Amino acid sequence: MRKTDLFKDQYLEIQDEEGKMILGRIHALESRTNTFLFESKLQKKAVPLSHFLDKLIFVYYTGSDQTKYQFTTNVIDFIEESSMYRLSIPEESAIMKVQNREYVRVNTELECHLFSLIEPSDAKIILTKDISGGGLSYISKVPLDLEEKEWSGVIYLFKGNDQVSIPFQAEVVYCEELELNQYKVALKFSQIKEQHRSSIIKYAMKVEVKQASGRAKV
């Protein structure tokens, strides 16, 4: 058995691009069609079971090596009488490890407003270069004053078609001079609600899967 293999009664979390999520287990594996039946056990939100039909789905699970994995798939069928989904199983190469470091970090541009704790009325509007559950970085044309170690801010994250505000406080990790008179600034979250950190982690996982899928098609 490979460490990424799915098995009967294994618990999974499935989520769509809008952030709607349900938890459940594998009721049966169908090797002939390379599919499995998913039985919902717990809904984190009031989501009709038929909601996920014909949508891109993100699947998260823990493998036999206790590492968390993820892949994208589609719901092929919804069996209403037994309230089960039939989902396709991807090739092993399409299954990605998501705990190979503390947080998944992805390159993505998100609008973020930064506020100095010394001059909180002056907002610095930036676009992130990358982001993770632990912090973010961005490119600036001016160096950051390293005497100002603490910053507060708001990240504007997209969940489906909705924009979600993620407030945080952060410490400056470094300000690195690049070519063409540019600077890379890295911030580490020092205060952030865990529900907001979780939203960033889920977003980063989705971006990573999409980027990997795009590279695989090239």
Question: ∠ at Cα 75 (31, 85), nearest 5°?
Answer: 70
Distances (CA, A) of 103 to 99, 134, 201, 216: 7, 6, 7, 23
Q: Residue range 156-169: average pLDDT?
A: 86
Residues counted in the chain? 218
User: What are the beta bridge partners of residue 59?
Assistant: 14, 71
Residue linked to tokens 């190469």: 93
Read off the pLDDT band of 213 (50, 70, 90): low
Read off the pLDDT band of 126 (50, 70, 90): very high
Q: What DSSP line would sit under 21-68, residue for residue?
A: EEEEEEEEEETTTTEEEEEEEEESS---GGGGTTSEEEEEEE-TTS-E
Q: Which one has a higher pLDDT value, 20 or 158?
A: 158
Read off the pLDDT band of 130 (50, 70, 90): very high
Read off the pLDDT band of 60 (50, 70, 90): confident
Q: Which helix (H) or strand (E) holds 114?
A: strand 111-116
Token reading at 166: 């993620």
CA 118 to chain CA centroid, Å, is 32
Residue 167 carries which side chain, given as an amino acid letter? P
Read off the pLDDT band of 44 (50, 70, 90): very low
Separation of alpha carbons 202 and 210, rounded Å: 12
Three-state DSSP state, 109: coil
pLDDT at 133 over 80: yes
Q: What is the DSSP letter of 91?
A: P
End-to-end CA distance of the chain: 30
Distances (CA, A) of 157 to 19, 123, 199: 12, 18, 8
Sign of CA dihedral 81, 50, 92, 1: negative
Res 70: pLDDT: 84
Report field, pTM of the whole predicted structure over 0.85: no
